[in-house]
Amino acid sequence: MNDKTDMERQATAAPAIELKGISKAFGPVQANKDISIRVMPGTIHGIIGENGAGKSTLMSILYGFYKADKGEIFISGEKTDIPDSQAAIAAGIGMVFQHFKLVENFTVLENIILGAEDGRLLKPSLAKARKSLLKLADDYGLKVDPDALIQDIGVGMQQRVEILKALYRQADILILDEPTGVLTPAEADQLFRILGRLRSEGKTIILITHKLREIMDITDTVSVMRRGEMTATVKTTETSPAELAELMVGRKVLLRVDKAPAQPRDVVLDIHGLRVVDEKGVERLRGIDLQVRAGEILGVAGVAGNGQSELLEVLGGYQTGTGSVQVKGQALDLTGKQSDGQSRRNHGIAHVPEDRQREGLIMDYHAWENTAFGYHKDPSYRSGILMNNAAIKADTVEKMERFDVRPPNPKLAAKNFSGGNQQKIVLAREIERNPDLLLIGQPTRGVDIGAIEFIHQQIVALRDQGKAILLVSVELEEILALSDRVAVMFDGQIMGVRDAADTDEKELGLMMAGITDADAKIGG
Partner 1 sequence: MDYMTLIQLLDSTVRLATPLLLACLAGLFSERAGIFDIGLDGKMLAAAFFSAAIAALYGNVWLGLLAGIAASLALSLLHGLASITFRGNQLISGVAINFLAAGLTVLIAQDWFQQGGRTPSLIGGARFNPITLPFADAVEPVPFIGPLYAELISGHSILVYAAFAAVPLTWWLLYRTRFGLRLRAVGENPAAVDTAGVSVIGLRYAAVCICGVLCGIAGAYLSTALQAGFIKDMSAGRGYIALAALIFAKWRPWYALWATLLFGLFGALETRPDVIEALIGVKVQGQLLGALPYVMTVIILAGFVGKAIPPRAGGEPYVKER
Which positions lie near partner 1, rule CB under 8 A? 56-57, 60, 63, 65-66, 84-86, 88-89, 95, 97, 101-106, 110-111, 113-117, 119-123, 125, 165
Q: How far is the CB of 279 from partner 1 (least distance, A)?
A: 12
Closest approach, Cβ 81 to partner 1, in A, equals 15
CA distance 453 to 424: 12
In 3D space, the residue among 161, 426, 193, 214 whose CA is nearest the CA of residue 316 turns out to be 426
Closest CB 481 distance from partner 1, rounded Å: 30
Residue 60 or 308: which CB sits closer to partner 1?
60
* Closest to 181 measured CA to CA, from 99, 256, 95: 99
Give the residue among 513, 514, 453 at the shortest CA–CA distance from 481. Answer: 453
* CA dihedral angle for residue 173, residue 178, residue 180, residue 183, rounded to 10 degrees: -110
Looking at the Cβ atoms of 63 and 403, the one nearer to partner 1 is 63
In angstroms, the CA 53 to CA 113 distance is 34
Identify which of residues 174 and 288 has a Cβ nearer to partner 1 in the complex. Answer: 174
User: What is the closest distance, in whole angstroms, from the C-beta atom of residue 195 to partner 1 in the complex?
Assistant: 20
Note the Cα 117 to chain centre separation in Å. Answer: 34
The minimum distance between CB 300 and partner 1, in angstroms, equals 30
Nearer to partner 1 by C-beta: 116 or 127?
116
Nearer to partner 1, 114 or 391 (CB): 114
Q: Shortest approach of partner 1 to residue 72 CB, angstroms?
A: 21
* Beta carbons of 472 and 442 less than 8 angstroms apart: yes
By C-beta, is 278 or 464 nearer to partner 1? 278
Rounded to an integer, what distance in angstroms lies between the CA atom of residue 425 and that of residue 365?
Answer: 12
Q: Tell me the C-alpha distance between 288 and 274, whole Å.
A: 5
d(CA 429, CA 427): 5
| CB closer to partner 1 out of 101 and 272 | 101
**In the complex with partner 1, which residue's Cβ is closer, 86 or 200?**
86
Helix axes 185-200 and 122-140, enclosed angle (nearest 10): 90
C-beta of 162: minimal distance to partner 1 in Å?
Answer: 10
Question: 2-21 burial, b if ≥16 CB within 10 A, otherwise e?
Answer: eeeebeeeeeeeebbbbbee
Which neighbouring-strand residues pair with 48? 209, 224
Minimum distance from CB of 222 to partner 1 (Å)? 22
Q: Which residues pair with 75 in a beta bridge?
A: 17, 78
Residues whose CB is less than 8 angstroms from the CB of residue 429 and which lie 6 or more positions away in sequence, other chains included: 370, 371, 373, 374, 375, 399
**Neighbouring residues of 507: CB distance < 8 A, sequence distance ≥ 6:** 498, 520, 521, 523, 524
Element (H, E) at 518: helix 517-523
Residue 32 CB contacts under 8 Å (≥ 6 apart), including other chains = 22, 23, 24, 54, 57, 58, 61, 68, 228
Contact, 367 vs 396, CB < 8 A?
Answer: yes
Kindly tell me which of 114 and 363 has the beta carbon lying closer to partner 1.
114
CB of 320 to partner 1, least distance (A): 21
Q: Please say which residue, 58 or 269, places its beta carbon nearer to partner 1.
A: 58
Nearer to partner 1, 225 or 476 (CB): 225
Q: Closest approach of Cβ 225 to partner 1, in Å?
A: 15
Rounded to a whole number of angstroms, the minimum distance from the CB of residue 205 to partner 1 is 18
